[in-house]
Amino acid sequence: MISKTKLGNKGEKLAADFLKNSGMQILDKNFRYGHKEIDIIAKDKDTIVFVEVRARKSTKFGSAEESVTSRKQKLLIEAANFFISKNQLDCEGFRFDVVAIDMKAGPKILHIKNAFTA
């Protein structure tokens, strides 16, 4: 049985490869601000994209995309605000995406652009 950490790492690698193949540039992975973490920070043309990756091997407790709770969204927004201010970025060109991966289906990747707003 695969551990949660290994599943997460595999999911993040699959997501990064998927985003690169979609034409995005990966700027950072596993960016930390205190106990908050952004899985992937990418650039899509002129837009900075903060990506939460969710990999699931079962839908017993809901789908991967359903697991991004409002609390998790708040933590991601806080970390993104810190990243933006630290790097002196234009705040108008960013979005929050979710990459949901169903590992049981082979894996099946669902990329949800603008999954939530700040």
pLDDT over 70 percentage in the chain: 87
Give me the CATH topology for the region 4-61+73-106: Trna Endonuclease; Chain: A, domain 1 (3.40.1350)
Residue 28 CB contacts under 8 Å (≥ 6 apart), including other chains: 38, 40, 41, 83
- Using CA atoms of 93, 68, 54, 76 in order, give the dihedral in degrees to the nearest 10: 40
116-to-57, 92, 102 alpha-carbon distances in Å: 24, 15, 20
pLDDT at 64 over 90: no
Residue 44 CB contacts under 8 Å (≥ 6 apart), including other chains: 23, 24
Tens of pLDDT, residues 35-58: 999 999 999 988 999 999 998 776
pLDDT at 102 over 90: no
Q: Could you state, in order of their start, the residue ranges of all structural domains in the chain?
A: 4-61+73-106
Tokens 């079962």 sit at which residue?
Answer: 58
Tens of pLDDT, residues 16-36: 999 999 999 999 999 999 999
Mean pLDDT, rounded, of the chain: 87
